[in-house]
Amino acid sequence: MSSLERMLGLLDVFTTEQPIWSSEDLIRHLGSPASTCYRYLKVLHTSGYLARVANGSYVLGPRIMELDRVSRETDPVYIAGSPIAQRLTHDTGQSSLLCILFSDSVMCVQQAPGRDVPTRLFSRGQRRPLVAGASAKAILAHLPMHQLRILYARHAEAIAQVGLGRDWEGFKLALKQIRQAGYSMTVGDYNAGIVSIGAPLFNREGEVLGSLALAASTSMIKAEDFRDFAPLVVEAARQVSQQIGSNEDVVALPARALG
């Protein structure tokens, strides 16, 4: 990795499980000379990406919050999808999730909570593997073939575990069935006790950008009854895609390549 990549990589270690890192722990994690790490920390602190707390430790800084505000006010998927996701939640009483493709994962950019929000439900800023859950599978089914080959080579075991085929041909068939249905529905695919339906979102060139999903707890609704919401999810996703494609105030949003 380049020096810049190593410096920016320090931001990746800050999580909800471990939000505070000491200088010493960051040095050990980086595996570079202490002088190098301190130089990186100085740059990140000065620019506001990290903030100092007691005992020479660091947390994420205010610049992160500032960038999140900019993202909410400018991201075409968030702007186009949020009102429609809110309306879907209002009409169904269930929780809606607006998600995007990010490298070989799916990231939630907006959660519109319903009346009874399932525990551990996907929320803004969380990332999950691109092979599990309706929000991920709805995206996966519309990726170009060369990207699917990369994903299958990396995640063949996980793909088999979530019922997407035990070989390459089975994988392609499972994705074809999702495309034909227009949506993906899963029960306990990523988190036990959660049923979800996801439909794809596209840019104006017809490339998949993300998905709009509806989720509920299986303790609150039966899976066969939840499937009745599928046409509403598909129509809402179509409306989001239409909004993204028709917005002339933003540059055409490109599909995000797999990393």
pLDDT, one tens digit per residue, over 32-73 is 899 999 999 999 999 999 999 988 899 999 999 999 999 999
Cα atoms found within 13 Å of the Cα of residue 204, Cβ hemisphere only? 12
249 band by pLDDT with thresholds 50, 70 and 90: low
**Mean pLDDT for all residues in the chain:** 91
Instruction: List the domain boundaries for the chain.
Output: 3-66, 75-246
Determine the pLDDT at residue 1.
Answer: 75
Does the pLDDT of residue 251 top 70, yes or no? no
Tens digit of each residue's pLDDT (9 = 90 or more) over 74-95:
888 999 999 999 999 999 999 9
Residue 207, both tokens = 């490339």
pLDDT band at 178 (very low <50, low <70, confident <90, very high): very high
**pLDDT of 248:** 66
Is domain 75-246 given the CATH code 3.30.450.40 in the classification? yes
Q: What is the pLDDT of residue 103?
A: 82
Confidence band, pLDDT 50/70/90 cuts, at residue 189: confident
Residues 217-235 have a mean pLDDT of 95
Rounded percentage of the chain residues whose pLDDT exceeds 90: 74
Confidence at residue 246, expressed as pLDDT on a 0 to 100 scale: 85
**What is the pLDDT confidence band of residue 149, given thresholds at 50, 70 and 90?**
very high
pLDDT, residue 253, reads: 57
| pTM of the predicted structure, to 2 decimals | 0.87
Q: What is the pLDDT of residues 13-37, one digit of tens each?
A: 999 899 999 999 999 999 889 999 9
Domain topology for 3-66: Arc Repressor Mutant, subunit A (1.10.10)
Cβ pair 140, 149 in contact under 8 A: no
